[in-house]
């Protein structure tokens, strides 16, 4: 199959990054992005939270903020899709420009600020999905910028969206909402997660969705210890490592006026994978980890898995390589697994860390 993105990608990247993203969403909604013939290598099949995933490659939050194209992205070959971040009330986000491509570095800087249509509209779209069995769709929850009591917003998100979600993510790690990352503090995080779990329990769903926590890569050693302890004590079902970084490596090629925001893409691969491995050790391999940050090849996905990830996610790589990268990553990941003698994804989880769990 011809990779059309090799032809149209350079043209799309001539557009302002946010406009290019809007165009991509629009084309997907119209069904104008060709979907590959869906064939899955059985070595990539895995079970997490008792659920079968055709493959472990997921679409990270940020691409489909408003649940406009989750099924279209599943059709592109993803094993699961995460929409959001979604806040209780619609908000426009930060002032533009707020999205920047670092083409020479295959990196992105964003300071979007949780721009989204709000929980009610997202809930209507998820409820209207023609076939929820087409694949797993999780929802990433955030808080509105002006909200003082963060727990209120996360509880609102739980009540509005948990019944329509295959998993729920509590996002306390975006650098673009003032004060959000302070919620990673041990005491505040424990109170937040306890409240979220109680809100989900109160809904009495027949099959409640797993609750995950998404963390930043910019953590101290004590931060990581505290977060791991809270995740275990609160019986949180999974942890996503990591969100974007506020670090600004000197060797990268930043566009003029890039300013603040979170850096993602290839430069995040090493630091996010180190954080992932740290959490695998700190949780004793007992908490499901999703590895995200810098994945652009099957070898990258394999490295995350061997560092402790049961599932992985990507987004920024599509900016530079188009959705066809998903099929290439899956093919190369299968080659890596067979080369090293693994029968399935689960057999490889955590094996890159030496003796210990996994």
Q: How far is CA 208 from the centre of its chain?
A: 20
- Do 142 and 78 meet the contact criterion of CB atoms below 8 Å apart? no
- Concerning whether 233 is annotated as a catalytic residue, the answer is no
> Using H for helix, E for strand and C for coil, what is the string for the chain?
CCCCHHHHHHHHCCCCHHHHHHHHHHHHHCCCCCCCCCCCCHHHCEEECCEEECCCEEECCCCCCCCCCHHHHHHCCCCEEEEEEECCCCECCCCCCCEEEEHHHCEEEECCCCCECCHHHHHHHHHCCCCHHHCEEEEEECCCCCCCCHHHHHHHHHHHHHHHCCCEEEECCCCCCCCHHHHHCHHHHHHHHHHHHHHHHHCCCCCCCCEEEEECCCCCHHHHHHHHHHHHHCCCCEEEECCCECCCCCCCCCCCCCCCCEEEEHHHHHHHHHHHHHHHHHCCCCCEEEEECCCCCHHHHHHHHHCCCCEEEECHHHHHHCCCHHHHHHHHHHHHHHHCCCCCHHHHCCHHHCCCCC
Among candidate residues 174, 272, 296, 316, the one labeled active-site is: 174
Residues marked as catalytic: 174
């Amino acid at each position: 199959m011809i990779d059309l993105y090799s032809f149209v990608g350079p043209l799309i990247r001539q557009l302002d990054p946010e406009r290019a993203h809007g165009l991509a969403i629009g084309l997907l909604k119209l069904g104008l992005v060709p979907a590959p013939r869906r064939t899955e290598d059985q070595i990539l099949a895995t079970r997490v939270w008792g659920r079968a995933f055709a493959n472990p490659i997921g679409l990270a939050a940020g691409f489909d903020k408003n649940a406009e194209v989750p099924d279209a992205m599943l059709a592109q070959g993803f094993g699961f899709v995460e929409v959001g971040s979604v806040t209780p009330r619609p908000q426009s986000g930060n002032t533009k420009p707020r999205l920047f491509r670092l083409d020479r570095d295959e990196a992105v800087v964003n300071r979007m600020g949780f721009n989204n249509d709000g929980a009610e509209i997202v809930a209507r779209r998820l409820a209207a999905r023609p076939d929820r069995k087409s694949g797993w769709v999780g929802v990433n929850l955030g808080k509105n910028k002006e909200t003082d009591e963060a727990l209120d917003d996360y509880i609102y998100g739980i009540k509005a969206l948990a019944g329509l979600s295959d998993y729920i993510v509590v996002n306390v790690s975006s650098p673009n909402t003032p004060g959000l990352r302070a919620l990673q503090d041990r005491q505040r995080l424990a109170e937040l997660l306890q409240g979220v779990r109680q809100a989900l329990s109160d809904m009495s769903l027949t099959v409640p969705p797993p609750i995950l926590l998404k963390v930043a890569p910019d953590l101290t050693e004590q931060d990581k210890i505290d977060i791991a302890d809270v995740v275990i004590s609160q019986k949180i079902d999974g942890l996503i490592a990591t969100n974007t970084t506020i670090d600004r490596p000197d060797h990268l090629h930043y566009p003029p006026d890039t300013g603040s925001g979170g850096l993602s893409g290839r430069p995040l691969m090493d630091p996010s994978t180190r954080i992932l491995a740290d959490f695998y050790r700190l949780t004793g391999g007992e908490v499901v980890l999703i590895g995200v940050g810098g994945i652009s090849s099957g070898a990258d996905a394999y490295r995350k898995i061997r560092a402790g990830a049961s599932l992985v996610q990507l987004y920024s790589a599509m900016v530079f390589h188009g959705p066809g990268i998903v099929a290439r990553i899956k093919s190369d990941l299968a080659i890596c697994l067979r080369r090293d003698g693994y029968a399935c994804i689960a057999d490889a989880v955590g094996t890159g860390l030496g003796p210990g769990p996994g």
